[in-house]
Every structure is written in structure tokens, then in C-alpha cells.
Amino acid sequence: MEAPTGEPGLSMAFPNLTFARPVDLQAPADGTNRIFVVEQAGRIRGFLNRPDERTTFTFLDIQDRVRSVGNEEGLLGLAFHPKFKDNGFFFVDFTADSPRRTVIARYRVDAETPNRADPNSEVVILEIPQPFSNHNGGQIAFGPDGFLYIALGDGGSGGDPRGNGQDTRSLLGALLRIDPDRPDGGREYGIPSDNPFAGGNCPQAGCREEIFAYGLRNPWRFSFDAPTGRLWLADVGQNAWEEVDVVERGNNYGWNRMEGNHCFSPMSGCDVTGLTPPVWEYDHSVGHSITGGYVYRGSIAPELVGRYVFSDFTTGRIFTLEYDGVQATNAELMDTDLNIASFEMGPDGELLICAFDGRIYAFSAPDTDGIP
């Protein structure tokens, strides 16, 4: 594949390293220049951020407690505490068995071996029952406000049979926001006072105060863009539409009344009152499973700065989106043969791409040969 004139190419960022179903990648701001890759089966591997690096180390292995039977289950997310350099805390999102559930847990780095976490240091922060094996969401991330955001799908099956997306009494089908540093109310976390439903300000009696936004089907990757303050989220669709949302506090993004901009239940004449539409959608002639990305703020491809970069997992197509707060303009950046599971921001501000061929990719300078 040759990069179009003026557009970046794609190259292996670490050609000597391979991983097993990498679903997440994180680089803590601790001055060690390390990168950590999450493997879906339940392992986190780390390495030094050098293009010619040949060795990795096992940072955490919890395969004994991770359920990865279903295609969408496993160890799905990693977030380093903002003060990781001082406290050694990091958080993971994984699915577990007996009963089937999502677990948000905190671990601590081994006091004597900084390249290894202590698997026995686990503190379970939150557990959410999962009725089915799919639509687990799975990303966790600390926002610029210092709170932990957690993306959860609608509980699975098809069509949201239990109505979780529109039920604010359920944590499923929502983006949560919690404070893991200030436990309160007998929990291992607190509720930020400006959460939309904090203090019982509920659209439904008994709503969950952890909810930041809801009406989501299977949010697969979200990101914060510091210059604009926007929170970008990609929501995987049902049978017809994939969507990109800009998430705001307390908003309802429609599922399962709507799939994208279109009525789903019922198929016509649905009530759109109070729903926030996506800023972009595409149908299944383009792709079948959206992978959320980042607004590009790097330097290798200056023509991409300010554009939201995302992809489709099934087709390998990578897209960009320009958004001025009112209208969005979409363009296809490149067509690859990769199953792209995640985009992440590298230590240098460049985007890194996790693909299911086991490789980590990055954009290369325009007018250079890319990868076959």
C-alpha cells in the first residue's frame, strides 16, 4: 500500500515485537519511557519505548481470574492513576465468571520490582453483572478532571432485550464517572458532586449516580481532546449503523430507541425527545464495527491535526472527521487489511494502533511507502 500524496503512511512502530490480541495500549507519565500493552486473555506486557526494542516483560498476569470465553470478553482496559509515579496504582477492566460480570479493580506495582505489578494487591472497586457475553465496552480512563470514566455496553445479546440503554437504574449501556480516591457510602469509590444524577437528581426513581451519560449500545473506545475539552466516543451499532458521539454530561445518546440517527425500537415513529444524535454515522456498506480513536495532535502528519481519527474493525479502513461543533466532514484516510482494536496516544503524542495481527502500528511521514 502506498500512502497518498500529502497523507501519512502506516508502519510497524515496533517491528521486533508481537502480541496476542492486543486490545489496549497505555504509556504512563512517570518518566520511565515505558509502554504497556493489554492482551485480551488477561496479561499486560511492557517494554521500553524504542523502535528497535526486542524484549518485553510481563507486568501483570491475571489470566486465572479473567473470563475470555466470548469473543468480546477478557481483559479489556487499563488506566494508570494520575499519580502513578508516586502511588504505583493502576486500574483494569475485565470480565469474570461465576457469575458473569465486569470487574473494575485496582492493583499496585511491586515495591521492589517496578516492571512487575503485584497480582495479590487487587482491590475490587466495582462489579457489574453481565447477562450475556457480548457488549462489554471495556475502556477505562482518567479524565482531565482526575475522575475515572468507565464505558459499559448494554449487557449484550441483540437489540438490548433488557432495555438497559434507556434505564438509568442500570449501570449498563452507560459511561460512568467515579472518584476512586475518595471512597464513600460503603463503596470503594465516591460519586463526583457534579455527576448529572448526584444527590438523587434522577430522570427515574432509583437511578444510578455513577452515570455520566447513557443510551449507549457498545461503546468501544473513547478519548479526551484537551484543546477542545471534547470527549469522543465510538458506539458499535446493531444491524445497520455505526456512530461517533461527542459526549456531554447527562446526555442520552438514544440506544435502543435509535441506532445512529434512525429509529430502532420501534422501527418508525420513535420518540426522539431528549435524545442527542451522533456527530457522524456510517452504514454497513462501509463497515460493521467502529473502533474509536483520538483527535490527532502529533507532528508527523500535520495535515491531520485537529481531525478525529478512527477506524472500522471489520474492514480495516481508517477515517478522519473534522468537526466544528455543528457540522462534521468525513474522509477516508487509508484502507488497510488490519483488524484495528484500539488507538492510543504514545508518549510523544503520536497515535499508536493495536491490530489483531499482533503488531503495533504508527503513522509514518507523508509520501513514504507504507506497509503491504
Residues 26, 80: contact at Cβ < 8 Å?
A: yes
pLDDT of residue 233: 99
pLDDT at 145: 98
| Rounded mean pLDDT, 207-220 | 98
pLDDT at 3 over 70: no
What is the mean predicted confidence (pLDDT) over 301-327? 97
Q: Span 41-68, mean pLDDT?
A: 98
In this predicted structure, what is the pLDDT of residue 220? 98
Task: Tell me the whole-structure pTM to 2 decimals.
Answer: 0.96
What pLDDT, in 10s, does the model give residues 142-194? 999 999 999 999 999 999 999 999 999 999 999 999 999 999 999 999 999 99
Residue 365: pLDDT over 60: yes
For the residues 32-50, what does the mean pLDDT come to?
97
Residue 203 confidence (pLDDT): 85
C-beta of residue 122 within 8 angstroms of C-beta of residue 105 = yes
- 341/147 Cα distance (integer angstroms): 24
Does pLDDT of 242 surpass 70?
yes
Domain ranges of the chain: 19-329
Percent of the chain with pLDDT over 70: 97
Is residue 131's pLDDT more than 90?
yes
Grid cell digits, residue 51: 523502535
DSSP code at position 372: -
Q: Are 80 and 44 in contact (CB under 8 A)?
A: no
C-alpha cell at 192: 463526583
Q: So what's the pLDDT on residue 6?
A: 65
The x, y and z cell numbers of residue 194, run together, are 457534579
Predicted confidence (pLDDT) at residue 4 exceeds the cutoff of 60: no
Q: What is the DSSP letter of 16?
A: T
pLDDT of residue 356 exceeding 80, the answer is: yes
Q: What is the mean pLDDT of the chain?
A: 95
- Report pLDDT digits (tens) over 95-115: 999 999 999 999 999 989 999
H or E segment and range at residue 38: strand 34-39
C-alpha cell at 131: 447477562
Q: Which fold has domain 19-329?
A: Neuraminidase (2.120.10)
If pLDDT is split at 50, 70 and 90, which confidence band does 372 have?
very low
Q: How confident is the model at residue 361 (pLDDT cuts 50, 70, 90)?
A: very high
- Is the Cβ–Cβ distance between 371 and 338 less than 8 Å? no
Residue 270 above 60 pLDDT? Answer: yes
Predicted local confidence at residue 2, as pLDDT: 40
pLDDT band, residue 33 (cuts 50/70/90): very high
